């Protein structure tokens, strides 16, 4: 039992480690999901350094946050976010379509976050 638990813990932490390279968030007005090998989001109108990223190896959770300030991208509609390994090009690691588009205006700051929780089941 202890060995299985150790193996599962190691596997979950290895999955979290795959996201250590995420450094940027992309904002898009697109309405379709990209493949994980994409280097841009369809309709991407901005890409910025993450405001924060937090990895908790105790609960196996990674959280990413990014934002658009009051003076940024006004007139665009945010439909999708994506998390990348760099400011331009490189690989998309995660993307998410929002349930409802958000119109960006000068009186609206938008903060987006993504929480990735890794779980594994021992079915032996």
* Non-local CB neighbours of 12 within 8 Å, separated by 6+ positions: 60, 118, 119, 120
Tens digit of pLDDT for each residue in 6-25?
777 888 888 888 899 999 99
Q: Let me know if residue 66 belongs to a domain.
A: yes
pLDDT tens across the length of the chain (124 residues): 555 677 778 888 888 888 999 999 999 999 988 876 788 899 999 999 999 999 999 899 999 999 999 999 999 999 999 999 877 767 898 899 999 999 999 999 999 999 999 887 766 6
Q: Which pLDDT does position 100 carry in this prediction? A: 94
Q: Which pLDDT does position 91 carry in this prediction? A: 83
* Residue range(s) defining the domain that contains residue 56: 2-117
Q: Which pLDDT does position 8 carry in this prediction? A: 79
Q: Let me know if residue 52 belongs to a domain.
A: yes
Number of separate domains in the chain = 1
The Cα 20–Cα 116 span in angstroms is 12
Q: Let me know if residue 124 belongs to a domain.
A: no
Q: Which pLDDT does position 107 carry in this prediction? A: 97
Q: Let me know if residue 100 belongs to a domain.
A: yes
In DSSP terms, 67 is beta-bridged to 111
Q: Let me know if residue 122 belongs to a domain.
A: no
What pTM does this model have?
0.84
Q: Which pLDDT does position 15 carry in this prediction? A: 84
The Cα 55–Cα 116 span in angstroms is 9
The Cα 94–Cα 35 span in angstroms is 9
Q: Let me know if residue 123 belongs to a domain.
A: no
């Amino acid at each position: 039992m202890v060995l299985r638990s150790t193996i599962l813990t190691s596997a979950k932490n290895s999955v979290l480690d795959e996201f250590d390279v995420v450094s940027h968030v992309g904002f898009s007005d697109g309405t379709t999901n990209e493949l994980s090998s994409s280097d841009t989001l369809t309709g991407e109108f901005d890409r910025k350094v993450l405001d924060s990223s937090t990895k908790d190896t105790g609960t196996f959770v990674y959280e990413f946050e990014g934002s658009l300030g009051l003076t940024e991208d006004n007139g665009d509609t945010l439909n999708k976010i994506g998390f990348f390994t760099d400011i331009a090009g490189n690989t998309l690691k995660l993307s998410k379509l929002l349930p409802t588009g958000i119109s960006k205006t000068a009186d609206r700051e938008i903060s987006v976050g993504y929480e990735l929780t890794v779980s594994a089941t021992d079915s032996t």
